[in-house]
Amino acid sequence: MFSEKLLLRLKHSSGLTVLTGAGISAESGVPTFRGKDGLWENRKVEELATINAFQKDPVQFWKFYNWRRNLLKDVKPNLGHYALVDLERIYPEFHLITQNVDGLHTTAGNKNVIELHGNIMRDKCSECGYLNTEINLELKEPPKCTKCDKLTRPDVVLFGENLNNSDLSKAQESSATCELFISIGTSSLVEPAASLPLSAKGNGAYLVEINPEDTPLTQFVDEQLKGKSSKILTQIVMILDRMR
Ligand code: APR
């Protein structure tokens, strides 16, 4: 199933960088964005998760986010997440970049996670920036900041907003300097995350994609591992435990 080339890279690389998307959490029961269940009340995430939607219609915006938070409250990491904890143990230079806001990598036990799009289980004040982790899952109306009483929003990067500069720099640096890069469960459509695997490959990394479907990235990868992340990542860890 894995090529000789990949086995050699897995065995000898010191630096592994991984990028994850919604697909890694799909087997935990979290709906992906652009899959069949990727719509909410027939509206696209690109319409709902925007800074414009928050400013224009905070009630509708918060209905969407409250629904997503409630979906996540009892969700557990799956074997794919746990395999990435093993990979962090195995590789001295391991970087995990995620587009997911569900926090499941940290729950699973990964230590160094770059949450490029933030974390949905935190509120951030739209005025003073105060971060609040004591969120209310039974919202009756858009929540207000406990410090300044202005409207808060989830601490996620919305469409129309920039990523945190320091997180993006760390992600770019770890992509450009690794020997092996694995892109897992992402449709590779949303920038700047979508460019990270290409930057890795451009700088000499061996580029692998794990996804049951083809994506715009597929044509550029050195190796496509077509299937579900839990199964493939578990196999990789088993092989590595024998080899390294
Ligand atoms: N294992 C691996 N991949 C899977 C699995 C699985 N079990 N199930 C689904 N996938 C793949 C799908 O084939 C798809 O390519 O996961 C991908 C999910 O794609 P998206 O829903 O587009 O999610 P993602 O790429 O993370 O979206 C990027 O878009 O809306 C924004 O901010 C949001 O971070 C998100 C960003």
Ligand 1 center from residue 186 Cα (angstroms): 4
Provide the CATH number for the domain formed by 4-29+76-117+162-243 in this structure: 3.40.50.1220
Q: Is the CB of 110 under 6 A from ligand 1?
A: no
Give CATH 3.40.50.1220 domain extents, the chain. 4-29+76-117+162-243
Q: Is the CB of 45 under 6 A from ligand 1?
A: yes
Sign of CA pseudo-dihedral 158, 155, 26, 194: positive
On whether the CB atoms of residues 19 and 98 are closer than 8 A, the answer is yes
To test the pocket of ligand 1, the residue of 187, 213, 228, 235 to mutate (highest count of ligand atoms within 8 Å of its CB) is: 187
My answer on whether omega of the bond before 216 falls inside 30° of 0, hence cis, is no
Q: In this structure, which CATH number among 1.10.3470.10, 3.40.50.620, 3.30.750.24, 3.30.1600.10 belongs to the domain 35-74+124-156? A: 3.30.1600.10
Give CATH 3.30.1600.10 domain extents, the chain. 35-74+124-156
Ligand 1 nearest atom to the CA of residue 213, by list position: 13
Q: Is the CB of 185 under 6 A from ligand 1?
A: yes
Give the pair of three-digit tokens for residue 200: 């890795």
Question: What string of pLDDT tens digits covers the 244 residues of the chain?
Answer: 899 999 999 999 999 999 999 999 999 999 888 866 665 656 777 788 899 999 999 999 999 999 999 999 999 999 999 999 999 999 999 999 999 999 999 999 999 999 999 999 999 999 999 999 999 999 999 999 999 999 999 999 999 899 999 999 999 999 999 999 999 999 999 999 999 999 999 999 999 999 999 999 999 999 999 999 999 999 999 999 998 7
